[in-house]
Amino acid sequence: MKLSQRVLTMPESSIRKLTPLADEAKKAGRRIYHLNIGQPDLPTPKSFFAGINNFREEVLSYCPSPGLPKLLEVFSAYYQHRGIPLTPRELLVTNGGSEALLFSFMAVCDHGDEILVPEPFYTSYSLTASALGIKLCPVPTFVEDGFHLPERGEFVKRITPRTRALLVTNPGNPTGTVYTQEEMKMLAGLVQDFDLFLIADEVYREFVYEGEYKSFLEFPSLWERVLLVDSISKRFSACGARIGSLACKNPKVMRQLYKLAETRLAVAMVEQMGAIALAETPAEYFREANLEYKRRRDVSIAKLQSIPGVYCRRPEGAFYILARLPVVDAEEFAAWLLRDFNLDGASVMLAPANGFYLTPERGRDEVRIAYVLREEDLANAFTILGEGLRVYNSTVASPVVSS
Amino acid sequence: MKLSQRVLTMPESSIRKLTPLADEAKKAGRRIYHLNIGQPDLPTPKSFFAGINNFREEVLSYCPSPGLPKLLEVFSAYYQHRGIPLTPRELLVTNGGSEALLFSFMAVCDHGDEILVPEPFYTSYSLTASALGIKLCPVPTFVEDGFHLPERGEFVKRITPRTRALLVTNPGNPTGTVYTQEEMKMLAGLVQDFDLFLIADEVYREFVYEGEYKSFLEFPSLWERVLLVDSISKRFSACGARIGSLACKNPKVMRQLYKLAETRLAVAMVEQMGAIALAETPAEYFREANLEYKRRRDVSIAKLQSIPGVYCRRPEGAFYILARLPVVDAEEFAAWLLRDFNLDGASVMLAPANGFYLTPERGRDEVRIAYVLREEDLANAFTILGEGLRVYNSTVASPVVSS
């Protein structure tokens, strides 16, 4: 009996290693501020629950594989309103953004094929690629540049005959970076010149605090080659619904995606009913959410930048900050915070950034901070972090001078 | 831009080709009896809807990747009650049986590895295998034997150094066959002697009409090597919920399955709440469902066997009959029934069996019949089928003498 290399080589997440320590700390009566979770804390619109609470069928039957027609219309209307021209036939409802990603990878890559991706990137990309025997080729970006893109040559030199697609997250996770129009045009030219697919993960579209945001599907020249990965998880604080979508304006691609959708028959019916009802969410919901997160970002950045040795730049979107800490190993520090430190009975949980890098050693001194706590909690959490760093570096580790 | 071979080589389902014809017929005012759909028509227990109708959270957050702890307990209690010793830690909640299958394949096979499977088998097996670059090696079974298993040598001669697992569906889809204790023991010996995993799809466990039923997990000698694929879809007439489960008593395997579960973060929360409430379903629900399906099976078999040239044996479980028809090409006949035939304004939709075979030409004259209609509808449907066959063979095709 042999387990597959595809699972054996998948890394276990560092968060998984830290969770037992956080549980221990809570058992010991300590309060833990979770800066590690990429899950919005704002209320899910009540319409979602109204949508499911009146749901009652004699038989809970399979939905059509591409999704409930009404939900496809709701998604189409949302995109049209946003200036993204997608018809219901160009859309699939998926089991969260995760399945949209899985289907994208399956549709464009065979075993051994390659996908370019700016690094750091969302952990599930490498796990999904491992599971499918696909090679991710990271293009490095850096905290000093606010994780903005390097010049085109850095992408070009990593393109091989096996390269099939470029994968980008915009706004970014774990970086919060929103690409400029110039960066998007560079990428658009690149995928056209090298005839690649562009897998665009835009699940944080509604969270942009600086400048104008454009979807990659707003470039008509890219219509045949963009696979748009999306989800209601962040947009509506509805991570638990597991309702995502995958869109493509190329009918040849959609035909193959339909086949993939048939392999798993359908997406959960009740959650789709809830997602349909979200269409009634007033525009203020997004405006208020945006203002709230922008305030939190500004509080977080100010507090972080005031901690000696911490380096980060102000990200333009999402609800993440990737920060460099004055430590050698952020995972060890994160474990120490949970295990050995508290300030007035409270500590913080961080997401070590090594899980967002494929290149060995990169991100070892970085952490991702998700500002999905209320402002006063954020302020407390950063006070604890600052004090934790001071104590750690004066008693546990030799201090590291930030470069 | 190149689409992957893994999707391009996936066949489009024959049902997909027939569906537009059925839609046309309905538009023309004809009634279509659906004998093609593997979806139970009995009511979903009301407790499911009670479970979701009181559900209201401030934030609809991610469930734990392995599933809601309460649902894992409910599943564990169900199995224990059935004599299948599974603890919550040996279970994962999945997006339907489909995802349980996907994870099983991913965990035990790399690209190019092989899985033995008695043929005919459920279509999604070959689609999922294609998507992952896994080779299914069919072991033929035949309508004359009621699709019971051939002798061990037929399995042994197909085992190669790349064979990693044996996949069985018991009770069977599309066959309705329930394996005898002797057949199960033969398979148990086989996987032990050749050190293979046994992927046991037992989603039709509650639908057995003859003899005693045993799960493969009731053989303690198999505990380390069985991956149990399951679902509430058939058990509770709840296909639309997309709640399945994957179980394994081998902690080394479970550890890898947890990683796969993390790649897609979580399963839909609301449907899990409904599934938890299903624990309250009284035992009569299963007894009544069983009696109802048994009656339907007997009506269907009697009617089918009375049609000249039709050959089938009485299956022991599930709600399917795989029957040989006196036609050369059952797919053409099924299309003709929808396009060109009606009896008093009604016709039937059949599932051509070619989709359940990987071996070319096998099953060409067979159809799968799902007896998920009320008895009087079933009787009408088979009258139409018989008359359709008579007309088809006397006017359209040259009649074929059944061997």
Tell me whether residue B143 is in a domain: yes
pLDDT of B107 reads 97
Residues B263 and B292 in one domain: no
**pLDDT over 60 at A36, yes or no:** yes
Axis-axis angle for helices A269-277, A69-81 (nearest 10) = 40
**pLDDT (mean) for A333-340:** 97
Work out the minimum CA distance from A104 to partner chain B, whole angstroms: 10
* Chain B positions in Cβ-Cβ contact with residue A238 (cut-off 8 Å): 60
Assigned domain for B401 exists = no
Residues A201 and A243 in one domain: yes
User: Do A114 and A233 belong together in one domain?
Assistant: yes
Range with lowest mean pLDDT among A307-316, A346-355, B39-48: B39-48
Question: How many domains, in total, are found in chain B?
Answer: 2
Q: Is residue B403 over pLDDT 60? A: no
| Residue A61: predicted pLDDT | 93
As a whole number of angstroms, the distance between CA A306 and CA A383 comes to 10
* Cβ–Cβ gap B4/A108 under 8 Å: yes
pLDDT, tens digit (0-9, with 9 covering 90-100), for A74-106:
999 999 999 999 999 999 999 999 999 999 999
For residue A45, list chain B residues with Cβ-Cβ distance below 8 A. Answer: none
Query: Does A293 lie in the same domain as A269?
Result: no
How close, in Å, is residue B302 to chain A by CA atoms? 28
Residue B366 domain boundaries: 5-43+284-396
If asked whether residues B303 and B357 sit together in one domain, one would say yes
Same domain, A84 and A173: yes
Query: Hey, which residues does A140 pair with through a beta bridge?
Result: A119
User: Global pTM?
Assistant: 0.95
The verdict on B215 and B88 lying in the same domain is yes
Among residues B252, B280, B308, the one where a domain terminates is B280
Q: What is the pLDDT of residue A403?
A: 44
Average pLDDT along chain A:
95
- Rounded Cα gap, residues B100 and B231, in angstroms: 9
Domain membership of residue A402 (yes or no) is: no
Within 8 A of A16 by CB-CB distance, chain B residues are 262
The model's pLDDT over B191-241, given as tens digits with 9 standing for 90+, comes to: 999 999 999 999 999 999 998 899 999 999 999 999 999 999 999 999 999
pLDDT at B53: 85
**Does A384 score more than 50 pLDDT?**
yes
CATH number at residue B353: 3.90.1150.10
What is the pLDDT at residue B400? 56
State whether A242 and B263 contact (CB < 8 Å): no
- Interchain pair B274, A271: CB under 8 A: no
Higher pLDDT, B396 or B323: B323
Q: Which residues of B touch A132 (CB under 8 A)?
A: 132
User: What is the model's pLDDT at position A13?
Assistant: 75
What is the rounded CA–CA span in Å between residue A268 and residue B234? 15
pLDDT category of residue A400 using cuts at 50, 70 and 90: low
Q: Do A110 and B225 touch (CB under 8 A)?
A: no
Per-residue pLDDT of B80-102, as tens digits, reads 999 999 999 999 999 999 999 99
Within a domain: B146: yes
Count chain A–chain B contacts defined by CB atoms under 8 A. Answer: 239
Closest partner residue to B39 (CB to CB) among A48, A61, A271 is A61
Residue A399 is predicted with a pLDDT of 53
Same domain, B293 and B266: no
Q: Is residue A182 part of a domain?
A: yes
Picking from B237, B242, B258 by the largest number of A CB atoms within 10 A of its own CB, the best residue to mutate is B242
Residue found under tokens 């800066």: A35
Chain A positions touching B63 (Cβ under 8 A) are 240
What is d(CA B293, CA B167) in angstroms, rounded to the nearest whole number? 26
Find the mean pLDDT for residues B324-352: 97
What's B163's domain CATH number? 3.40.640.10
| Domain membership flag for residue B87 | yes
ipTM for this prediction: 0.93
pLDDT band at B398 (very low <50, low <70, confident <90, very high): low
A192 and A203, same domain (yes or no): yes
Q: A43, B58: Cβ pair inside 8 Å?
A: yes
Same domain? A250 vs A297: no
Rounded to an integer, what distance in angstroms lies between the CA atom of residue A47 and that of residue A274? Answer: 7
Question: What tens digit of pLDDT does each residue of A164-198 get?
Answer: 999 999 999 999 999 999 999 999 999 999 999 99
Quick check: is A373 in a domain? yes
What is the nearest CA distance from B136 to chain A, expressed in angstroms? 16
CB A88 within 8 A of CB A73: yes
Q: Would B74 be classed as within a structural domain?
A: yes
Residue B265 and residue A98: Cβ atoms within 8 Å?
Answer: yes
Q: What pLDDT does residue B339 have?
A: 96
Residue B66 has pLDDT above 70, yes or no: yes
| Residues B137 and B232 grouped into a single domain | yes
Report the pLDDT value the prediction gives residue B117, as an integer from 0 to 100.
Answer: 98
Helix axes A251-263, A96-108, angle to 10 degrees: 120
**What is the average per-residue pLDDT within A354-376?**
95
- Is A14 in the same domain as A106? no
Final residue of a structural domain among A224, A254, A280: A280
Task: Please state the rounded mean pLDDT for residues B5-11.
Answer: 91
